[in-house]
Structure 1
């Protein structure tokens, strides 16, 4: 059923939220940091205690964030000019005997200076543990936040949010794009996304249809996509996660088609999953998804690999299944049978950045499974900039003529062991202290070379001096150094001297 979230009802709901200070800052002020953190961990009691006697804001927090039942009088006071009858008719509230509960999840969501409200469906916990419905519209979950952090925030003209769901990616796009187009195959998702946009005064063009069909014939500066990437049998139990395509075909479809919807120099960024099979490199698998002959720079970043048992259990719990129930046992068995029949030994998950170019593209696949705090979005922009520089210095002669500096965020770690003449170095390891925290082991000559990266001399002269000082063959040293230097530049650990002091 599609909720009747008319513009007038949403406008009156916004007025009530503003009057009660039901926003990210207001909720934090009411709950305090400790209770707010507890709520984030799924521990509601501290928040319940903090909302006692807290007026209309307390009522809204108990309704929409804590899943509590409230009296008609209290709910009516909190909703202001939006009558309880209208809220019930719209599906914003639902009756529970003489009391009222939230019918939708409507919660403040903020980042930095921005504060929004997001409209989605109640998750399993707020539904009393019952599994969610097939057309469930997910709220701001871990996957959504991961894509938010992995997306570029440079100013662009046009953005396509493919499979918008509750609309959270479009909210972030509104901070740096002149026009926004969103699509989804789910009528319910589009209704809730439209309510989200109306609540927040965001102007977005809405298109209904499968995959890229609503945007056919158009091009954009940025495409973001959190697709139904769950890997498994070709079925659709839940539209927010299941594509109806087998295995990782949904991720492959998006990667294959997305570049044709980009303007020249435009970027696509998405979450994706891919299967791991015995004897098959995941890098070859995902690279094969790229459209043949298209000029595309592609950066595939693998953030995790799950074994099939863990994967199935995680996603069944996510939908609210009791894994010991008859239904849970049957679903798990079917899923694991499919993995076994298709030789799946693991499921990779990560981020993909694509850029439309006018020539041969650069394709890089990287394992990035260690922990790091910095968002990946700025790094994706910097990675593309470094790819451009390396492309402009594609020949060895061009690179050897370049003046380079070691990035300020690059530090050297040395591990030594006791020897006959004191401590003897065993390992020299470079660390980047920002971004994805890259690490590279180098040898003693590499350490000496980087010490000379001060922007004064071209790389070729530094290598000649190093060969002379250590009695090495200059040609052999150069052949060994060039691929190492290119990789360090690609990872932002060494940068062109002219970039010194500029954000990378």
Structure 2
């Protein structure tokens, strides 16, 4: 493992200067979308930086300079950085600990594309067309050649240009982030540790991850109702806490990693956001407190001690507990830190024994963790991997492509042997949403629902809120349901047959699911216009099909509850 650089300085004056400059430089997601093509932006999300380096070659706009330096990991001259950040300056960047001066040799080894000596352009939002042709067309980029000058041999040689304008390299990843939330849109800038794609080196043990795919999933599915208090458990770089601060009056962010806490504090200051950051394990820093909303993207990767001993413990993904017990610990402890009606939303991995079907029996382990807790729960397994694929994915995630072949082979086999010894047949990956019951609700026990691989759209906050609320739906037969306006039905017939062989309900919005249903369920959904109760509709279906009412009810009850949870039907 590599050694981390010191955390950025929490110098609020210099941080304010940095904020002023990135705003003035219009270094935003909108500007990046103008600078880079859609394919190149998609490549960046996959940590592929070379297409962006090609498109930004020779572009001297401040936003392009900052993108090359902080996101793409390319050296820049101090003068270019001072031009992009005139209030802070290159010296301010160095004082904050975000950048360091390097020599010509290191700069030469780090440069991927040749650097043109172009003059800075206007700070207005650039476009790829302007970047390729110049502000006034192709001719504007040409400069008249200069004649060589003669120097008196007795004169003192001028100081090296390098001393006045050294090369610098970024010590952290800093990039813009756009948040579209119910309360309005936000432009933020988020600092995290540089990844192996930028440094070419394996990650340090205390590496603090930036905004990845899992982070974005949790951000999208978090309920954004206004609350008094919210907790980001395992805050990392602090992006979840920044979102929480837009709709919570008080936000606490905790992490076992001192480095993560420092970066969260820095990002809070950079984005002028008040976050109470506390260092400690899981709920220890908030003992005795209760929150209306808790979100967590915890270090859930199931890592054996044998791998930790040789490769080290990556704090951002490995909580140090045995097997999947970190997830169990969070779920078992969370209700004590939730106010009545409060919600926990978290991403998770769990082991599935080899003796169980990973598609139909995956939920038993999670269900045992939730047994007896005063909560309603919605648990979704969005994917399942066999142990070999799981091991390969996480080794590559931490720079496996940079490992020597022998080291990769040892780590892989050691990890796989551990899963075999534990009897693990598969690993489920998904999310858990809990709602803390009040005293009256808890007396009757919690309600739990498990869904496998939600096809269609990833759940959004409102989908999660509805799913949890639907677990407390009124008594089904006395309830008048209303079919969502975007629900459509697809019918498949055997040629010449008057009756459909297959019925599929499609949902245009919401979760965007497609669900096969029976003819009885289809009839109930079709008649659910908010006027008749489900019991009345079921009786009518029984009469029309010459089937006993109780048989119709038995056939439609479970599917209707699923359709309610998924938003096909409302009440």
TM-score, normalisation: structure 1: 0.91
Which residue of 2 is the match for residue 502 of structure 1? none
The within-5 A match list for 1:435-446 is 435-446=510-521
Contact 1:233 1:245 in 2 (8 A): no
In terms of fraction of residues, the more strand-rich structure is 1
Moved more, 379-388 or 193-202: 379-388
Distance in 1, Cα, partners of 2:223 & 2:210: 21
Which residue of 1 is the match for residue 482 of structure 2? 405
* Cα shift readout 1:173-200 (whole Å, capped 9, x = no counterpart): 1221111100111111111111111111
Q: Of 23, 28, 38, which residue of structure 2 is paired with 1:23?
A: 28
Larger CA Rg, structure 1 vs 2: 2
| Inter-CA distance 18–488: structure 2 relative to 1 (3 Å threshold) | closer
Alignment of 1:273 with 2:349, yes or no, is yes
* Cα shift readout 1:388-443 (whole Å, capped 9, x = no counterpart): 2x2x42xxxxx322222222222212111124xx4542112222232223343333
Distance in 1, Cα, partners of 2:31 & 2:523: 55
Distance in 2, Cα, partners of 1:425 & 1:53: 61
Distance in 2, Cα, partners of 1:2 & 1:217: 30
| Inter-CA distance 446–34: structure 2 relative to 1 (3 Å threshold) | closer
The within-5 A match list for 1:38-437 is 38-41=43-46, 42-50=48-56, 52-98=58-104, 99-112=167-180, 113-128=185-200, 130-234=201-305, 235=308, 237-280=313-356, 281-290=361-370, 292-322=371-401, 324-358=404-438, 359=442, 360-370=445-455, 372-388=456-472, 390=473, 392-393=474-475, 399-419=476-496, 422=497, 424-437=499-512
* Cα shift readout 1:309-334 (whole Å, capped 9, x = no counterpart): 12111111111123553322222222
1:48 is displaced (CA, Å) by 4.2
| Inter-CA distance 477–216: structure 2 relative to 1 (3 Å threshold) | same
Contact 2:487 2:505 in 1 (8 A): yes
Q: Of 534, 537, 556, which residue of structure 2 is paired with 1:459?
A: 534
Distance in 1, Cα, partners of 2:353 & 2:397: 25
Distance in 2, Cα, partners of 1:46 & 1:181: 36
Distance in 2, Cα, partners of 1:79 & 1:272: 40
Provide structure 1 residue ranges, at least 5 long, that are not aligned to the other structure. Answer: 394-398, 497-504
RMSD of aligned C-alpha atoms? 2.1
| Inter-CA distance 174–48: structure 2 relative to 1 (3 Å threshold) | farther
Q: Alignment length, in residue pairs? A: 484
Provide structure 2 residue ranges, at least 5 long, that are not aligned to the other structure. Answer: 1-5, 105-166
SS of 1:408 mapped into structure 2? coil
Distance in 2, Cα, partners of 1:375 & 1:446: 24
1:43 is displaced (CA, Å) by 4.4
Moved more, 332-341 or 466-475: 466-475
Q: Of 14, 21, 37, which residue of structure 2 is paired with 1:9?
A: 14
Distance in 1, Cα, partners of 2:58 & 2:459: 37
| Inter-CA distance 439–474: structure 2 relative to 1 (3 Å threshold) | same
1:83 is displaced (CA, Å) by 3.9
Distance in 1, Cα, partners of 2:389 & 2:379: 23
* Cα shift readout 1:131-189 (whole Å, capped 9, x = no counterpart): 01001000001111111112111111111001100001011112211111001111111
Contact 1:35 1:50 in 2 (8 A): no
Distance in 2, Cα, partners of 1:207 & 1:164: 10
